[in-house]
Amino acid sequence: MPADGITPEGTAPGPLELVQSFANTLGAAGGDLLDTREKAVPWLRGGGLMPADAIVTGSEHAALLRLRDALRDTLAAHAAGRADADAAARLTRGLADGRLVTTLTPGGAVKLATAARSVYPSIVAAIAVAIAESGAAGTWPRLALCQDPECGTAFYGQQSVRHCPAHRIG
């Protein structure tokens, strides 16, 4: 995020942008950037979420798509300004794969990190940490999914705004 805290309209600040771009791997315009493992691996590598020599298994790929579905359903609930207990439960379950723990650096700083050494939990942990930090900062409810039936883009805006900047009415 720039020092003045201003980001382009609709773009989430700081690490939440990672969550936003993960949600936007499925969209009307670009199709599905993760629909096969062959497509998901380059996206994950490009986003710095996994090393160049790493892979995800078929079941991990399936879990990643379930995580994204739960995330998108949760962001749709944000746009609608309603609770979605089922989406929240599924997102909670998916994020548990990140196996987050609280760590203290030798200097005394507190951080969230993954307790796992393998690739897939590290990917999930990056997303989980971003969501946790966003929740603490109060920005999480402002990441939402455009309710235009042709759109479904994840965008960042005021709380309970239903449409992305391109589809805002009035």
Residue 151 contacts Zn ion per CB under 5 A: yes
Nearer to Zn ion, 108 or 149 (CB): 149
Structure tokens at 76: 């749709």
Contact at 8 Å (CB) between 87 and 70?
yes
3-state secondary structure of 101: strand
Q: Smallest gap, in angstroms, from Cβ of residue 72 to Zn ion?
A: 13
Q: Rounded to 10 degrees, what is the CA torsion of 12, 92, 45, 118?
A: 150
Contact at 8 Å (CB) between 155 and 84?
no
Out of 14, 113, 148, 159, the residue judged to bind Zn ion by CB under 5 A:
148
Q: Which of residues 6-45 bind Zn ion (CB under 5 A)?
A: none
Scanning 19-27, 29-37, 64-72, 162-170 for contacts with Zn ion by CB under 5 A, the matching segment is 162-170
Q: Smallest gap, in angstroms, from Cβ of residue 21 to Zn ion?
A: 16
Nearer to Zn ion, 68 or 163 (CB): 163
Q: Smallest gap, in angstroms, from Cβ of residue 8 to Zn ion?
A: 15
Q: Detail the DSSP E strand segments found in 13-134.
A: 26-27, 31-32, 100-104, 110-114
Q: Smallest gap, in angstroms, from Cβ of residue 9 to Zn ion?
A: 12
Give the HSE-up count for residue 99: Cα atoms under 13 Å, Cβ half-sphere: 9
Residues near Zn ion, by CB under 5 A: 146, 148, 151, 153, 164, 167
